[in-house]
Amino acid sequence: MDSTTVKALLVIEALSLSEEPRGVAELSRQLGFTKSNTFRILSTLAAQGFVRSHPETGRYSLTLKLWELGVRVMDRQPVRRVAQSHMKVLFLQLNETVLLSVFDFPDVLYIDKMEGDYPVRASARVGWRAPAWRTASGKSLLAHQPDDVIAKLAEEGLTPIEDLPALRKELAEVRQRGFALSYNGSRPGVNSVSAPIWGPEALPVAALSVSGPAERFTPERMLAMSASVMNTATRISESLGASSPSYGLRAAGA
């Protein structure tokens, strides 16, 4: 592995997580690099257009070039392109935040959203990650992963090993009924309901979810919404040339 490349990526990640431009010295301390090494990496990234230098302060920040590249990649995501019209219908029906995410072990990565117009909202941003085992969208995707993927969560300390039996039981229920629920999932006070979107190879390629504050997302309302979420996920799957499996317990009204 090229250590210089790895270091450059770590610098980019550190800058992306910072609200303000960063100086060479503070980046060096944070990453454990020498100042000269950090300066050379920043100079190279600046020359390639990924980083902007602020001469008046001696600090550096990211440019929009990474965003530019990311948008090109996102536009090639068939599930995002296909899902948008269906997400809009679901959004108009429920007037709640609708999210599209993909599984990227050990997280879910949010790749699209439509947000409700309530004054109180609870929404992830596009590009945010959340631990898969804590979210409804993550559980709807984990439920169809091989068991060694679930075991790996505990082996790598990503979920407490004592929670593994309960997680496996919950995922079995998700497989049977076709949707997942989360209460206080990745953030306190936020609940959500999700269903998987299937691809042509009979594997989930994404998850569709609806989320909001716990005071609106009561257990009863979430169960009622599950039918709409499942039906919309099924229509997206069909648009991708796939079909959803027959679940043992269909959502109410599905």
Any idea which of 71-85, 89-103, 163-177 has the lowest mean pLDDT? Answer: 71-85
Whether the pLDDT of residue 121 is over 60: the answer is no
pLDDT digit string, tens, across residues 48-84: 999 999 999 999 999 999 888 887 777 777 899 999 9
In the predicted structure, residue 188 carries a pLDDT above the cut 50: yes
For the residues 118-136, what does the mean pLDDT come to? 80
161 pLDDT band, cuts 50/70/90, is confident
**Total-model pTM:** 0.78
As to burial, measured by CB atoms within 10 angstroms (0-12 exposed, 13-18 middle, 19+ buried), residue 219 is: exposed
3-state percent breakdown (helix, strand, coil) of the chain, nearest 5: 45, 20, 30
Q: Please give the distance of CA 45 from its chain centroid, rounded to a whole number.
A: 27
Residue ranges of domains in the chain, CATH in brackets: 3-67 (1.10.10.10), 77-239 (3.30.450.40)
